[in-house]
Amino acid sequence: MLEMLSRRTLLQILAAGPLAAAGRDLRADVAVIGASTGGVAAALAALRNGRRVVMTEETDWVGGQLTSQLVPPDEHPAVESYGGTQLYRQYRRAVRQYYRDHYPLTAEARGREYLNPGDGSVSRITHEPPVSLHVLEAMLAPWISAGQLTVLLRHKPVKADVDGDRVRAVTVKSLETGNELTLTAPYFIDATELGDLLPLTRTEYVTGFESRKQTGEPHAPETAQPQNHQAFTVCYAIDYREGEDHTIDKPAEYAFWRDYVPKMTPPWPGKLLGWAMSDPIRLTPRAVTFDPRERSGRPGPLNLWLYRRIANKANFAGAYNDISLINWPQNDYWLGNLCEVPAAEAARHLARAKQLSLSLLYWMQTECPRADGKQGWPGLRLRYDLAGTEDGLAKYPYVREARRIQAEFTVLEQHVGTEARRQVAGPEAGAAEFADSVGTGSYRIDLHPSSGGDNYVDVSSLPFQIPMGALLPRRVENLLAGCKNLGVTHITNGCYRLHPVEWNIGEAAGMIAAEAVRTGQAPRKIRNDKKLLSELQARMTAQGMELAWPKLAPR
C-alpha cells in the first residue's frame, strides 16, 4: 500500500501540481476530459500514435469503474481469447502479474495462468481496485515522464469556448485550489462519467428512455421518459473478522432504508434490505443468501458474499481475509438522478445513496437474518483503505447511464438484441455488422431498476460491433464520445456500458482523434471516405484492436 500511495503522490506531482500552481493554459493534440476506463484507454491510444495528450480527472484516481468506483470487471466469457483489444488484455495480464510480484500467493495460485484473485463469480479477474490503479498508473507513467502526457487530477470541466460546430477550448477548475486552466486542442474526447462536456459544448444529446415511436425498440415505452435513468450505486469493500465487532455508527437514514419497500413495476418482492430480490430476467422473486464464512459456491441460492469477492484468502499464504465488494441490488439507488437536475438535488441524491450503502452495511452487521438463526454479522469490517476515502465508500458513484450524444449512428435493440435482431434478420442472424466497425463487445442488455419506477430489463444480446458513427456527434466536428456517452439508446446502453466495451470505445476514440490529426481530415470525413476509413481500420487492426468477431464465436 505504501508503494501505491507514493506512486499516486508522484503522479500528482508530475502531472498536476506544477501546472496548476503556475496557472498556465495548456495546448495538446488531444484533450481527454475524464480519466474513466474509456478515458485512460483513449489517452493511451492517442499517445502510442505520437499525439500529445492532456487528460483531466475529477477524482484523484484514474480508471473510473475499475478504480474510483470500486467495480470489478464485468466481462463476457471469451474475453481471455477474443472480443476485446490487445491493450485491454495487456492491462488484465498486468493485474495478474502485480499479484504475482507483490502478494503472498500460494504456489497453486501463483502458477494459475488465469489467476482470479477473488474467485468472484461475476468475473474471471475479480481483484482489489488499488491494484488496477497501480497498473493503470504504470501504463501512463512513461508518457508522463517523456512529457507527452499531462494528467490533471481533481480537475472538473466548467466551461467551453465553442465556435459554430467546433470546440475551441475547455476550461477546467482545480477542486483543490480553485484555479482554472484552459485546454486547447484540435480534438476533444468526452470520457466523463455523466457526459459533462455535452451541455458545456452545446452538443446535442439525449437522456433516459427514448420512446418506441423514436426507436422502434420492443422494450421501449410508448412515450419518451428523459428523466428515467438506471440506478447508480455507491460501492464499498468489506472483509469479515470472526469474533470481532466492527459495527459502524448507525446511519442517519437507517430507519428509512430498513423499512423501505420499492415501488416499481413489476413489483419488488418486499423490503429492499432483505435476502429476496427480483430475478433480473423473469422478474419473479429470487432468494439469495449471505454468509461470509462460506468458502466456495454450492447448489442453491446465490451467496452474495461470493458474487463480487475480490480476494479469496485460499489464494494467499499467511494471514489473509476474504474481501467482498458490495455492489448489489440492495444498494442500488433509484430515487433520483445525478444529471439533468440542479446541482443541489444531485448532491442530495448522492448523499442519500451513501446513506443507503451504509444502511445496508449496518443492517448486515446488526439485524440481517442468518441461516443459523442468529441476526447480524458484527465482524464485517469496512475497508477504508481499499476505497481511499474517509467514509470507506467509493470516491465516485458507479454510474450506469450518462448523457448520450445524438450520433451519426445510434445502436438500437434491433441491431444487437437476440430476439429483436432475429425478428428483423431471421432466426440464425447474428448482431448487425457495421462497415465502420471500430471494435467489439458482448454482454446482455442489463438494465438495473430505474428512477422512473421500472424493474429490471434484462434480455439476451448477440456479440456485437462498435460502429464509428456512434462515437461522432451529428453536428459538432471535433468532439468524440469516449465512454458510455456514445450513440446508444437507454436499452442498448445496457450492453455497451461494461468495462471491456467502454475500454474499446475509449481506445477507438483515441485512435480516431490521432488519425484525424495525422491526416488533417475530420472524423466525419474519415468515416464517409472508404479509403480513409480503410486506412484507419488497418491501423487499428495492426495495433491489436478487433473489429469483428470470429466466425466461430458463440452466439
Q: Give one DSSP letter per residue of 52-67, joined into a string.
A: -EEEEESSSSS-GGGT
The vertex-276 CA angle with 300 and 373, nearest 5°, equals: 70
Do residues 224 and 211 touch, judged by C-beta distance below 8 A? Answer: yes
Residue 277 has pLDDT above 70, yes or no: yes
Find cell 507527452 and name the residue: 148
Mean pLDDT across the stretch 180-203?
Answer: 98
Residue 352 has pLDDT above 60, yes or no: yes
How many C-beta atoms surround the C-beta of residue 9 within 10 A? 12
Q: Which cell numbers in the block locate residue 98?
A: 502485480
Residue 436 has pLDDT above 50, yes or no: yes
Whether 358 and 431 map to the same domain: the answer is no
In a domain, 58, yes or no: yes
State pLDDT tens for residues 158-180.
999 999 999 999 999 999 999 99
pLDDT at 295: 82
Mean pLDDT across the stretch 284-304?
Answer: 91
Whether 317 and 374 map to the same domain: the answer is yes
Whether 334 and 483 map to the same domain: the answer is no
Find cell 416499481 and name the residue: 264
Do residues 326 and 377 touch, judged by C-beta distance below 8 A? Answer: no
Whether 206 and 254 map to the same domain: the answer is no
Q: Within 393-477, where are the H helices?
A: 413-416, 418-425
State pLDDT tens for residues 359-392.
999 999 999 999 999 999 999 999 999 999 999 9
Q: Residue type at 159?
A: K
Instruction: Report the C-alpha gap between 106 and 111 in whole angstroms.
Output: 9
In a domain, 397, yes or no: no
Residue that is last in its domain, among 337, 352, 387: 387
pLDDT at 6: 39
pLDDT at 10: 42
Pairing of strands 232-233, 332-333: antiparallel
State the number of CA atoms in the 13 A half-sphere of 331 facing the CB. 30
* pLDDT band at residue 23 using 50, 70 and 90 as cut-offs: low
Residue that is last in its domain, among 330, 356, 387: 387
- With b meaning 16 or more CB within 10 Å and e meaning fewer, what string describes 255-294? eebbebebebeeebbeebbbbebbebeebeebebbbebee
* pLDDT band at residue 20 using 50, 70 and 90 as cut-offs: very low
* pLDDT band at residue 296 using 50, 70 and 90 as cut-offs: confident
Residue that is last in its domain, among 387, 413, 435: 387
Do residues 440 and 467 touch, judged by C-beta distance below 8 A? Answer: no
* pLDDT band at residue 298 using 50, 70 and 90 as cut-offs: confident
Whether 501 and 436 map to the same domain: the answer is yes
Q: Residue type at 38?
A: G
In a domain, 137, yes or no: yes
Sign of CA dihedral 63, 55, 502, 45: negative
Query: What is the Cα 266 distance to its own chain's centre?
Result: 27
* pLDDT band at residue 305 using 50, 70 and 90 as cut-offs: very high
Tell me the helix, strand and coil percentages in the chain, rounded to 5: 35, 20, 45
Q: Domains in the chain: how many in total?
A: 2
- Please state, rounded to an integer, the average pLDDT across all residues of the chain: 94
Instruction: Report the C-alpha gap between 35 and 227 in whole angstroms.
Output: 26
In a domain, 477, yes or no: yes
Mean pLDDT across the stretch 247-259?
Answer: 98
Q: Please name which of 345, 308, 18, 22 lies closest in space to residue 153, comparing C-alpha atoms.
A: 18
Whether 474 and 531 map to the same domain: the answer is yes
* pLDDT band at residue 16 using 50, 70 and 90 as cut-offs: very low
Mean pLDDT across the stretch 191-210?
Answer: 98
Whether 383 and 448 map to the same domain: the answer is no
Whether 365 and 488 map to the same domain: the answer is no
Sign of CA dihedral 329, 82, 485, 194: positive
Q: Give one DSSP letter per residue of 161-222, joined into a string.
A: EEETTEEEEEEEEETTT--EEEEE-SEEEE--SS-THHHHTT--EE-SBPPHHHH--TTS-S
In a domain, 539, yes or no: yes
Range of the domain at 278: 232-387
pLDDT at 299: 84
Instruction: Report the C-alpha gap between 145 and 228 in whole angstroms.
Output: 44
Q: Please name which of 30, 35, 24, 25 lies closest in space to residue 53, comparing C-alpha atoms.
A: 30
State the number of CA atoms in the 13 A half-sphere of 179 facing the CB. 16
* pLDDT band at residue 319 using 50, 70 and 90 as cut-offs: confident
Q: Residue type at 403?
A: R
Report field, pTM of the whole predicted structure over 0.85: yes
State pLDDT tens for residues 96-118.
999 999 999 999 999 999 999 99
Find cell 491489436 and name the residue: 544
Residue 12 has pLDDT above 60, yes or no: no
CATH code for position 68: 3.50.50.60
Instruction: Report the C-alpha gap between 498 and 59 in whole angstroms.
Output: 20
Q: Which cell numbers in the block locate residue 338?
A: 445525478
In a domain, 217, yes or no: no
pLDDT at 3: 40
State pLDDT tens for residues 123-143.
999 999 999 999 999 999 999
Phi, psi of 407 (to 5 degrees): -100, 165
